[in-house]
Structure formats: C-alpha cells, structure tokens
Amino acid sequence: MMGSQGQEPYAGIMGSHGQRPHAGVMGSSMMGSMGIVWLPGDGVAVSSIPAARARATSAARAAGRHPGEVMWFDNGFYVELKVGDGQPATEVIVDPRTGTVSTEPGPAMMWNTHFGMMRAGGGGAGSVDSTKARGIATSWLAANRPGTTIRSIDPYPGYFTLDLQRNGAVSGMMSVNSSKGAAWYHTWHGAFIAMEDS
C-alpha cells in the first residue's frame, strides 16, 4: 500500500536501526510475514521465478518501479525493484505460499532512505562508498563466514546489498549501511535455488 507521495507508509516493526553489525533479527519462518505489504496475497502459490516476477511487477507498478534480479531461495523469492533508469530502489520478498509481496526484512526495511524507516533522513550520499562497503563485507565474511566471497554489489538508497558465493555457487546475501558501515547478514532466505536478472 502506497502513501500519497508514492512512498510506503511508515511502520515501526523492528526495534534496531542496525547501529552495530549483527546477523539479522528474523528467522526463516518469518520471511514475508512482516514488513510493509506492496501487494496482498491472492492465495495462489508462487513456485517459479516468472510467477514471482509477475507478482512483483504488479506490486511495483503503482510506484513506478519494476523488477530486476529475482532470486529463488527455499524460503521464498527475493526481488530487486528498480526505477525507470535501472537504478536499484528497494528489495521485496514474494511469499511462495500466498503470493504476498512485502518489503524485505532487515536493511530494505530499516536502512532504505527512500522506502524504509530511514527515509525521513533524506537520500544523500553516505560516507561509505562501494569500495569501502566491499571491504567491510570482506572483513565481516572472513570473521564470520570463512570461505564465502562477494559475487556482486548493488547500491540502494542508504545501503549496499551484496550477493555472496561459496565454492563458485550463490550462498546468500548481506548488506552494508552507507552511512554507519554496519554489516547485516540476511539470515531469512534459506538455501539458494535459482536466479534470473533482467
């Protein structure tokens, strides 16, 4: 549901603003069950990347966004939403059981300066650029997930999200705040199944 200025309504769902590195606050059973709903579920199971992309397309249309990368995990679908020029705007989750599309828990909900809880702080550039974010993530991974490396990095308003890999295969995701440099590992996805970018 969108506000009068094309922004999601504020909802104080999570207590921490990610001021320190942490592993995330939501378990896999919570994926898609909290967060701001972009499109309510229709009760039809979503069991493929094209179906998840279609749900995200319907959800994002009113806000002038469109899906980019779609990743299928055993707990659901992650979808990157982009603006018209292709820049990443925010991240949503498609619930595989109901088709509900909601803001991804964690960084998209907490740190996004356009669509998240931090949007009142403005969308200015942070002190952490992509090079610093990559360095922070690399250090965090070495200490907490040895053998996991960075596959790609995408800038979102207020943070960066990184796709991770282990032994050449996608193994998960994490984010780095662009003003504080806090690292947040996405614990809610589960095992990777497949992905498609557009």
- For the entire predicted model, the pTM comes to 0.80
Residue 10 has a pLDDT of: 24
Q: Which residues contact 155 (CB under 8 A, 6 or more apart)?
A: 87, 88, 130, 178
Range of the domain at 43: 30-104
Question: 144 and 127, same structural domain?
Answer: yes
In the prediction, which pLDDT does 8 show? Answer: 30
Radius of gyration, CA atoms only, the chain: 15
**Could you tell me the CATH number of the domain that includes residue 145?**
3.10.450
Do 93 and 141 lie in one domain? The reply is: no
Give yes or no: residues 76 and 141 share one domain: no
Q: Mark whether 63 and 88 lie in a shared domain.
A: yes
> Quick one: tokens of 123?
């969308």
Cβ-Cβ contacts under 8 Å for 26 (sequence gap 6 or more): 34, 105, 106, 187, 188
Report the domain count for the chain.
2
User: Considering 77, 104, 131, which residue would you say is the last residue of a domain?
Assistant: 104
Query: Which of 175, 196, 186 minimizes the C-alpha distance to 75?
Result: 186
Q: Which of these three, 89, 104, 119, is where a domain ends?
A: 104
Give the Cα separation of 104 and 188 in Å (integer): 10
Same domain, 60 and 133: no
* Among candidate residues 104, 138, 168, the one where a domain is terminated: 104
If the chain, 198 residues long, is cut into consecutive pieces of 10 residues, what is the mean pLDDT of each piece? 30 29 31 70 96 98 96 97 95 97 95 80 72 98 98 97 96 96 96 94
Residue 103's pLDDT is 96
Question: What pLDDT shows up at residue 28?
Answer: 32
